[in-house]
Amino acid sequence: MVIPNEGDYLMKLSIGTPPVEFYAVADTGSDLIWIQCMPCMQCYPQDSPIFNPAKSSTYRELSCGSKPCTKLLRKTCSKTNGCQYYNSYGGGSYTAGDLATETFVFRSTNGEAAAFPTSVFGCGRRNSGTFTGSEAGLVGLGGGPLSLVSQLGAEIEHKFSYCLHPRSASSTSKLRFGMEAIISGEGIVSTPLVPKSPSTFYYLTLEGISIGGKTLPSTLGEGNIIIDSGTTLTMLESSFYNDLEAVIKEAIPLEPAEAPSPFSLCYATASSNRLPDMMFHFTGADLLLHPLNTFMETNNLNCLSIIPSDGSLSIFGNVAQMNFQVEYDLEEKKVSFAPADCTK
């Protein structure tokens, strides 16, 4: 199940024996799965009770010499030789704690429970940042070895898909694994995944963007953008963004309003019927984005949900992905899109 929550989407999972249910951020831009854990040295306020590993018969902490521990980018060893992880995210958020194994339970679309014992996760003892009370933690769906999709691997035939619905909708949609993840219907387009380092990220190639009759080609080469369900806005390399903004201003015959941070271009809300569609040209896949995917309403303004990147990394964020079925086939090394009404 996938539920919108401010700038993120949450998925439901159960952890431990007996299983305890939590909601955590579904994030294709990171690997580690973690939740807040008792005893907590520093936890952000959480709506549901914090997970207590002492009450689970299947919780096991991992040693510093264990194979999963060697796959962490940042780690330390405790005095008792336990493996301690540290992960940081954009916006100054971070989590730190003990690397452990536990039984994870997911409900399939027909309601049956599928249990995955000895799944590696982070028991978060120090967690802080932009997390909200409805988020017990984060589920990394990236390409690195400790992510949920990598750990499940062959059991889900290296496939998963989601359909992110608009935040204004009160419905939920499903995160699907394995054969259930294969998308169908009209207008499916596919684009290759480009293998690059770090393996966490799913790199695509954006060849250009069209608005009206004008196409802006990208000169940034292969694998120039990552697709990330855990990032709200789309971020483009700054010179490419500046060219795009100029074309958008040409296409909208209105005076821009003052843009609040982090946005760069905004118009009065009354202008929403004059916002243009955009075509994102990925290798082999032309994706038609409606204003729902490219503008957001905030403070009585319609703001472009595409901003310049502060580095070289461009990101295709979750607003741009709304109302598409998005399938990741990690065996065939491709991402597929199909336009959909994700509220259904």
In angstroms, the CA 96 to CA 124 distance is 5
| Phi, psi of 273, deg, nearest 5 | -80, 0
Both structure tokens of 147 = 């992510």
In angstroms, the CA 241 to CA 247 distance is 10
The catalytic position among 8, 31, 98, 228 is 228
Both structure tokens of 120 = 């590696």
Active site residue 27: yes
In angstroms, the CA 38 to CA 68 distance is 22
Radius of gyration of the chain (CA): 21
Both structure tokens of 121 = 């996760």
Active site residue 329: no
Burial of residue 225 (number of CB atoms within 10 Å: 0-12, 13-18, 19+): buried
The catalytic position among 8, 27, 31, 329 is 27
The secondary structure of 201-225 as a DSSP string is: S-EE-EEEEEETTEEEE--S-TT-E
Strand partners, 121: 100
Catalytic residue ranges: 27, 228
